[in-house]
C-alpha cells in the first residue's frame, strides 16, 4: 500500500469515528490496527506522520499574538 493510500484510509477512519462509528480498522505496517473514539489522538498523530512523510503540512500554525 502506498503512503497516499495509507493516508486516505486513515482519514476515512478518522471521519468514521467523528460521525459516530465505535471502532474503525486501518492497515498499518502490514497489520490491522483498530482505533476507537478514545484513540482519536493516536489516529490524528498517525495521519500527521503520514502527511509529514509525504511532505504535506498537517496542522495550521496557531494565530500569532498581537502585542500593543
Q: What is the pLDDT of residues 16-65, one digit of tens each?
A: 988 888 888 888 888 898 888 888 899 999 999 999 999 887 555 566 66
Domains and CATH numbers, the chain: 3-53 (3.30.1580.10)
State how far the Cα of 31 lies from the Cα of 18, in Å rounded to an integer. Answer: 23
Predicted pLDDT at 25: 87
> What is the chain's length?
68
Query: Phi first, then psi: what are they for 33, rounded to 5°?
Result: -120, 130
Q: Which residue has the cell 468514521?
A: 16
Amino acid at each position: 500500500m502506498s503512503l497516499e493510500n495509507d493516508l486516505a484510509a486513515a482519514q476515512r477512519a478518522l471521519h468514521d469515528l467523528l460521525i459516530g462509528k465505535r471502532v474503525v480498522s486501518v492497515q498499518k505496517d502490514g497489520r490491522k490496527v483498530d482505533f476507537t473514539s478514545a484513540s482519536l489522538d493516536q489516529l490524528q498523530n498517525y495521519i500527521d506522520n503520514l502527511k509529514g512523510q509525504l511532505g504535506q503540512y498537517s496542522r495550521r500554525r496557531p494565530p500569532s499574538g498581537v502585542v500593543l
